[in-house]
Structure 1
Amino acid sequence: MPRDEEFYGKHGEPRKYDPAFKGPIQNRSCTDIVCCILFIIAILGYIAVGILAWSQGDPRKVIYPTDSRGQFCGQAASACFTALSHTLCLPPPLMPCTLYRGLVIAMLTSLLFIILLRFLAGIMVWIMIALVIIVIGYGIFHCYMEYAALKGEPGANVTLQELGFQTDFSVYLQIRQTWLAFMIILAIVEVIIILLLIFLRKRILIAIALIKEASRAIGHVMCSLFYPLFTFLLLAIVIAYWAVTAVYPFMLQSNSDMRHFNYTTSPMKAQCPDSQCLFAFYGGETVYHKYLIGLQFYNVFLFFWCANFVIALGQMTLAGAFASYYWAFVKPDDMPAFPVFSSLGRSLRYHTGSLAFGSLILSIIQIIRVLLEYLDHKLKGAQNKFAKFLLCCLKCCFWCLEKCIKFLNRNAYIMVAMYGKNFCTSARDAFFLLMRNMIRVAVLDKVTDFLLFLGKLLIVGLVGVFAFFFFSGRVKAFENTAPNLHYYWVPILTVVIGSYLIAHGFFSVYAMCVDTLFLCFCEDLERNDGSAARPYYMSSTLHEILWKNKAEDPSSSAAQQQDSEDIQLKQQQTKDEDES
């Protein structure tokens, strides 16, 4: 075991006992003011870019075609518009209603699952594990039955390579190799999950204890379950603004496209063989056209920055609310009246700069990844293997870097929500706190994330199976209500993706609660010792189960060694005083 000086020298000093600390600090000052000002200026510039794009662009160019003079089809004569209107293909009226139903089922299932976790966390976790194994096992069985049913069917033995890419996805379902591939993939996933459960069976009990504590916290902060709706609304505004701002310049840029004109056979080409036909802008080229690419890049970058800012705001808000629950000695009497709104107000009033700082770092990495993808697309036809290898390595490195930054930002926001320090200081404190508890991070926090992932997988699987039987018409009870579709995999995939996003929104609250309680638990162990003078803030059940891992943690071993040395030193001082 490392010596305590060695260990804490590398991973920072542990938290000291502070009788005045009762949770998220109320008296705090604004942090990262420079980045806050920079973010406000960038937002004002973003608004200016949007106004410029809307004033210069024309949305009618997406709807109506134009002639060689730039006039819209249908202005001089209505024949073009009439012909175009007959080509419109409207979806069946029942389709949108049938889809919002699938998504509502996913939302109700997720909400029901969260409520059951609140009261029956231990039982629900084991039921969830069993249902995930059963659902995947049924998927394997169904794939095998489809594979066996296609035996001897004409054209069923065609390989996927021979078939190639088909826009009609139902064609793939008529091939045996498709169902064989599905069966192998599901079998591999099933084996991996079972092996993980076998090796992590002891840690699952510890993770269940943390989930129970998170359930109690969410029970006292029920409005936190609906906070993802606020985040979704803000993200929808950001995405809509980005999309409209991006489309309007493209509408104007479409004016510069070459119109197909057979100039080689024209009389002018015969009179002047060296002449060329180049299409110019309608009305001439302006300064706006010269910087169009730069403005589009600015639009993409601000989209990443604003989207990451919204997500970071949600993480810090929830972290502050759940931290106020953990550090309340008498729960819920010592908690604020409205913990979510109080935390949201603190985050926006004092820490907009810190949120902007963390989201800026992440946005820079994401925009670099976008540029690497663009270069990869451009170099697809290149023969330089070294360049392809280097580009692949860069993409992999920046993908890993993005994951690491997201993890560090998430924990930094928790520390900002508790102590009100700037982003860099909070990120450093969070990093050292995690390093001092690296064993617990590896075996506890990640096991909990795995169990929550199984919960999302279960909801998506159940809704996906229901959508498959509903849209495919294989259940007689749904024959009159299900729409008659030729491509029923499209609504199925839509429902599956939508249900995953809904489940992710609900479970993200649980994940943020678990991460916050985990950091608070680690600080609680460093601040307090469980005595009457320095009692723990954690619940008795959580303390009983999590304390079993104390011997595995090098930080706790170092702390024990420090305590024993302090006791020996005090005993020696007392002995010397008695002798004197």
Structure 2
Amino acid sequence: SVPKGREESKAASVGGVQCNYGEGLSVDMSCVFHPAWLHGDPRKVLYPTDSSGQFCGQKETSNASIHTLQGLLLSLAVSLVFILLLRFTASLLLWTTITSVILLLAYGVCGVVCREDSHRTAASRRTYLMSCLCVSVCACRCVVVLLVSLGVAEASILLMLIFLRRRVRVAIAMLREASKAIGHITSTLFFPVITFLLLTVCFFYWAVTAVYLASSGEAVYKVMSPEVSCLHANSTCHPETFNRSNISKSALCLGSQCLFAFYGGETAYHRYLFLLQLSNLLVFLWLVNFNLALEQCTLAGTFASYYWARRKPQDIPPCPLLLSFSRAIRYHTGSLAFGALILSVAQLVRILLEYLEQKLRGADNSLSRFILRCLQCCFWCLEKVIRYMNHNAYIMVAIYGKNFCTSAREAFFLLMRNVVRVAVLDRVTDFLLFMGKVLIAGGVGAIAYLFLTRKIPVIQEEAPNLNYYWVPLLTVVIGSYLIAHGFFSVYAMCVDTLFLCFCDDLERHDGSSEKPFLMSPELHRILGKSSQLH
């Protein structure tokens, strides 16, 4: 017979479930998981809570989440609509974009000035000045910087429109031709999504490898003693045998403890962990630049197939994006990897120079800081030059299939022979595309601002109560700009590819019946040798 106390102890009620301890592991697990699911709440780990214990960013609470992954969807829709309109009304849309950006900057200047005037009228001038000097000096400086930035941007755009209006018309014509190419090959707009996924994989590979390298050292313990006279302080020890050692029993080391100091080791592997981290960083940069090069080469091959087609769109090959991607993977990986390696080495050297600057920041050595700044400036310029040359080399690799060095040399001399056109198109086209990004990000940001400040009567009740709305607002603006940048980067690649094809077309053909131009009549009229650019 079993005693009464032991018989009662054979069963217990946990979370309302009767669990018999002798029924096996499955019942044991149910006794753990059922109360965990019943009483646990993972939101306590994932989300912060306010002083009342309510979760931040959750529905059905006073801290309901701001509908930001919605503002980003709005920017995605606006970007797509902008690109569709650019396909049919490029000239009108781009001039409207420039005008809208000018008005948007002017509105920003007026808004900042009016806000400051309202603060000044709310209190006396003396009180306002004292608050600026004593309380909110940083805020006043930010206002001044914001006003100057908006004013400089406004003046720069107006001056460019006055002195480069002909160049703007040329760039608009090139964007119109790019719109036709993208309109016939719409799948190119979504290729950056593949690049983003590949870059995400590369980032996780680097992060996981870096964490494993950083945590691969052995735990090192040192003697910590309150007695200054302890000769064994800061010497290595072992926590399991320390209490039996002579150090702990020594009269000079009373109260000493064996505590964890750092992760490290004495093997060759542990001594070169820093070099391994640098190697991991170099591989990460290499993979990132290779993926970007693969995107550029694929898009360049796609748009080149459009340009060199005699009858558009009848002679464009079927599935040109897939064909260009397969060619890049099969034939051009060596060239892409070599170009990516050159750029990655330059980036790694610049990162090391910034690391050295951080280490020497506390040192009182002006000469060393000056030399480091000069080296950083030189390698920054070198990185920009290499990036630009690689960009054009990948286009030539995609068009003619030659190796990287030959393609880079041919692209360089081709651009030098058309340096005037390069100066026109590169900067003006980039400026127009930048205006589109600013318009999309600024427009979505303005809507988000009106929504968060409850200035839209239709949806005023749905706006949350916020103490600070700048964090979700900046998230929407930055995310909108990045989404727009992803779409417009395809346009920039299309323009660069068509431009190099155009320059090569001018040199290879003369417009006769034996060697006819493959460019469109509009491009020949605007960008031809008899153009106003010469």
TM-score where L is the length of structure 2: 0.80
What residue is the counterpart of 1:203 in the other structure?
167
- Counterpart CA distance in 2 for 1:223 and 1:284 is 53
How has the CA–CA distance of structure 1 residues 137 and 280 changed in structure 2, closer, same or farther, with 3 Å as cutoff? closer
Once the two structures are superposed, the pairs formed by residues 347-366 of structure 1 within 5 Å of their partners are 347-366=328-347
What residue is the counterpart of 2:440 in the other structure?
459
What residue is the counterpart of 2:67 in the other structure?
98
Q: Secondary structure at the match of 2:288?
A: helix
Is the Cα contact below 8 Å between 2:87 and 2:179 reproduced in 1? yes
How has the CA–CA distance of structure 1 residues 119 and 159 changed in structure 2, closer, same or farther, with 3 Å as cutoff? farther
The structural deviation recorded for 1:469 is 2.1
What residue is the counterpart of 2:209 in the other structure?
245
Is the Cα contact below 8 Å between 2:224 and 2:258 reproduced in 1? no
Between 151-160 and 197-206, report the one with greater CA deviation: 151-160
What residue is the counterpart of 1:130 in the other structure?
99
Is the Cα contact below 8 Å between 2:132 and 2:140 reproduced in 1? no
What residue is the counterpart of 1:271 in the other structure?
251
108, 112, 135: which is aligned to 1:143? 112
The structural deviation recorded for 1:332 is 1.2
How has the CA–CA distance of structure 1 residues 480 and 422 changed in structure 2, closer, same or farther, with 3 Å as cutoff? same
* Deviations 1:430-449 (CA, angstroms, capped at 9, x unpaired): 00000000011012232111
Query: Percent of counterpart pairs with the same letter?
Result: 52
Question: Quick one: which amino acid aligns to residue 142 of structure 2?
Answer: T
287, 303, 307: which is aligned to 1:306? 287
Matched, 1:234 2:215: no
* Deviations 1:222-256 (CA, angstroms, capped at 9, x unpaired): 00001011111111111122222223333455955
Between 318-327 and 455-464, report the one with greater CA deviation: 455-464
How has the CA–CA distance of structure 1 residues 523 and 484 changed in structure 2, closer, same or farther, with 3 Å as cutoff? same
What residue is the counterpart of 1:409 in the other structure?
390
The structural deviation recorded for 1:221 is 0.7
Question: Quick one: which amino acid aligns to residue 186 of structure 2?
Answer: M
What residue is the counterpart of 1:529 in the other structure?
510
Matched, 1:491 2:472: yes
* Deviations 1:549-571 (CA, angstroms, capped at 9, x unpaired): 55755xxxxxxxxxxxxxxxxxx
The structural deviation recorded for 1:281 is 6.6
Q: Secondary structure at the match of 1:151?
A: helix
- Counterpart CA distance in 2 for 1:290 and 1:160 is 53
How has the CA–CA distance of structure 1 residues 185 and 160 changed in structure 2, closer, same or farther, with 3 Å as cutoff? farther
Instruction: Give the structure with the higher percent strand.
Output: 2
- Counterpart CA distance in 1 for 2:218 and 2:481 is 37
96, 113, 121: which is aligned to 2:82? 113
Residue-pair matches, total:
465
Is the Cα contact below 8 Å between 2:223 and 2:257 reproduced in 1? no
Matched, 1:296 2:296: no
Q: Secondary structure at the match of 1:202?
A: helix
- Counterpart CA distance in 1 for 2:424 and 2:309 is 27
Is the Cα contact below 8 Å between 2:76 and 2:483 reproduced in 1? yes
Is the Cα contact below 8 Å between 1:263 and 1:277 reproduced in 2? no
How has the CA–CA distance of structure 1 residues 427 and 470 changed in structure 2, closer, same or farther, with 3 Å as cutoff? same
What residue is the counterpart of 2:418 in the other structure?
437
Question: Quick one: which amino acid aligns to residue 339 of structure 2?
Answer: G
- Counterpart CA distance in 2 for 1:178 and 1:438 is 41
Matched, 1:447 2:428: yes
How has the CA–CA distance of structure 1 residues 256 and 195 changed in structure 2, closer, same or farther, with 3 Å as cutoff? farther
* Deviations 1:206-228 (CA, angstroms, capped at 9, x unpaired): 11111111000001110000101
What residue is the counterpart of 1:23 in the other structure?
none
How has the CA–CA distance of structure 1 residues 256 and 531 changed in structure 2, closer, same or farther, with 3 Å as cutoff? farther
Is the Cα contact below 8 Å between 1:316 and 1:413 reproduced in 2? yes
Is the Cα contact below 8 Å between 2:219 and 2:260 reproduced in 1? no
Is the Cα contact below 8 Å between 1:220 and 1:332 reproduced in 2? yes
Matched, 1:396 2:396: no
149, 159, 172: which is aligned to 1:185? 149
The structural deviation recorded for 1:497 is 1.4
What residue is the counterpart of 1:468 in the other structure?
449
The structural deviation recorded for 1:483 is 2.9
Question: Quick one: which amino acid aligns to residue 522 of structure 1?
Answer: C
The structural deviation recorded for 1:284 is 7.4
Structure 1 or 2, whichever has the larger Rg, is 2
Is the Cα contact below 8 Å between 1:238 and 1:307 reproduced in 2? yes
- Counterpart CA distance in 1 for 2:212 and 2:332 is 34
Aligned residues: CA RMSD: 3.2
Is the Cα contact below 8 Å between 2:525 and 2:531 reproduced in 1? no
Matched, 1:341 2:322: yes
How has the CA–CA distance of structure 1 residues 378 and 269 changed in structure 2, closer, same or farther, with 3 Å as cutoff? farther
* Deviations 1:403-458 (CA, angstroms, capped at 9, x unpaired): 11111000000000011110000000000000000011012232111111111111
- Counterpart CA distance in 2 for 1:314 and 1:305 is 14
Once the two structures are superposed, the pairs formed by residues 500-539 of structure 1 within 5 Å of their partners are 500-539=481-520
How has the CA–CA distance of structure 1 residues 200 and 289 changed in structure 2, closer, same or farther, with 3 Å as cutoff? same
The structural deviation recorded for 1:153 is 5.2
- Counterpart CA distance in 2 for 1:225 and 1:248 is 37
Between 262-271 and 403-412, report the one with greater CA deviation: 262-271
- Counterpart CA distance in 2 for 1:97 and 1:368 is 41
Question: Quick one: which amino acid aligns to residue 57 of structure 2?
Answer: P
Is the Cα contact below 8 Å between 2:290 and 2:340 reproduced in 1? yes
Question: Quick one: which amino acid aligns to residue 403 of structure 2?
Answer: N
The structural deviation recorded for 1:474 is 3.9
Q: Which has the higher contact order (CA 8 A, sep 6+)?
A: 1
- Counterpart CA distance in 1 for 2:530 and 2:375 is 39
- Counterpart CA distance in 2 for 1:335 and 1:406 is 30
Is the Cα contact below 8 Å between 2:225 and 2:257 reproduced in 1? no
The structural deviation recorded for 1:377 is 0.7
Question: Quick one: which amino acid aligns to residue 197 of structure 1?
Answer: L
Is the Cα contact below 8 Å between 2:47 and 2:56 reproduced in 1? no
How has the CA–CA distance of structure 1 residues 261 and 346 changed in structure 2, closer, same or farther, with 3 Å as cutoff? farther
How has the CA–CA distance of structure 1 residues 357 and 475 changed in structure 2, closer, same or farther, with 3 Å as cutoff? same
* Deviations 1:8-29 (CA, angstroms, capped at 9, x unpaired): xxxxxxxxxxxxxxxxxxxxxx
The structural deviation recorded for 1:133 is 0.5
Matched, 1:223 2:192: no
- Counterpart CA distance in 1 for 2:79 and 2:419 is 32
How has the CA–CA distance of structure 1 residues 397 and 339 changed in structure 2, closer, same or farther, with 3 Å as cutoff? same
- Counterpart CA distance in 2 for 1:503 and 1:544 is 31
* Deviations 1:449-486 (CA, angstroms, capped at 9, x unpaired): 11111111111111121222222334444433233332
* Deviations 1:334-368 (CA, angstroms, capped at 9, x unpaired): 11101100000000000111110011011001111
